[in-house]
Structures are given as C-alpha cells and as structure tokens.
Amino acid sequence: MKRIILFIMAISLIFATGCGANPTTSIGNEQNQFNYEAKEIYSADGSRGISSIAMGRNGELAVFKYHEKKIYIFDKNGAKTGELKAEENWDGALYFDKDNKLYALLQYRVKNNNNDYVLLERQLRMYDIQKSTLEEQSDIVEIKSDNIIGEVVEKIEVDSQGNIYCLKANEEVEVSDKKPKSIKTI
C-alpha cells in the first residue's frame, strides 16, 4: 500500500512540476519570445493611444497610434520597418487582406457648439506596406445619426471580393464597398 501511495505522490509531483507557471518546453520559449517582442514594441514607441492593431500574413504588425496620428509597421522580429501618416484628429481601424495590403478605415467625430457629436466622417485608405505608400483612398463619407457613438467602427475585415465588414460600437455589422458607402447592415 505504501508503494502505491508513493507512486501516486511521485506522479502527482511530476505532473505538478510539469504544469507549473514557468514551463521549459519549446512552447514556453515561443511564448516568452512573443512576450519579449510585445514588450519591445510597447517600450520602443510607448503604448499610449494605440487604437488598432493588425497582423499581416508574413508576421508584420501594423499599429495605429491615435495621439501621434501615425500607423507604425513592425516586422515579425519586432523591428520598426515603416510609418504611415494619418490625418489630424482621425482614429482608425486596421486590417490586412490576403494580398497583404493594409486597409485603414479612418473616422472623425464632429461636435457641435454644445459638445454633442453630430456627424461622423469616414475615409478608407489602402497602403502598400513594402513601399510605405498610400495606394488608394476613398472620398470622405459623412454619416448623420442620433447615435454617432454607435456608428463608430471598432473592427474591420475584408473578403476576397473587396467587401468590407465593419463591426460598429452598437454591435451591428455593416457591409460596405471601397467607397465606403454602406451596402447593407447585418
């Protein structure tokens, strides 16, 4: 009976040690590497004002920094490879498509004299991140609503036909084209 209890205790000890907070497996090393890279991006440019992050198919990371009005591009090793300028006072949602083209849906909320939001302006931009250049941009679309905050897009995705799916703050999904005029709301 003592042997069985000792055997169970030994197995329990091995299991508890192997499942501890600091694993030494290759998965743990990969996780530590990811945390290191995230800390490098955080400390290199600071995290204040990051409003959107997107990852490209080759491991590139695009970070929209609201306070600086810039989109920073980092390679898969965490080194900054480029930066793109956004407009003053605009916020953005980022997405990489299957061709590794970066989409930025820029938004600006307009206030009236009473500091109430009365208008939302949107513009879609597509960037070539290898050249750090603006490829295409839409006209500015104005959206009027009783609930401007609910119309703000928090996340975008682009399908293979170029349709843009926008998750809005009011939890509706809006499908639009590259104009970005709304086609329908789901």
Q: Give the phi and the psi of residue 18 in degrees, each rounded to 5.
A: -70, -25
Task: Please give the chain's pLDDT, 186 residues, in tens.
Answer: 556 666 666 666 666 655 555 545 555 555 544 444 554 555 555 566 788 889 888 888 999 888 888 888 888 888 888 888 887 778 889 999 888 889 999 999 999 899 888 999 988 988 887 777 788 888 888 888 888 888 999 999 988 888 889 999 999 999 988 776 666 777
CA distances from 77 to 81, 121, 181 (A): 10, 35, 37
Cis, peptide link before residue 23, omega less than 30° from 0: no
Alpha-carbon distance of 97 to 162, in angstroms, equals 9
Supply the pLDDT for residue 3. 66
Among candidate residues 130, 31, 44, 49, the one with its CA nearest the CA of residue 80: 44
Supply the pLDDT for residue 36. 41
Supply the pLDDT for residue 48. 66
Q: Give the phi and the psi of residue 75 in degrees, each rounded to 5.
A: -80, 180
Supply the pLDDT for residue 181. 66
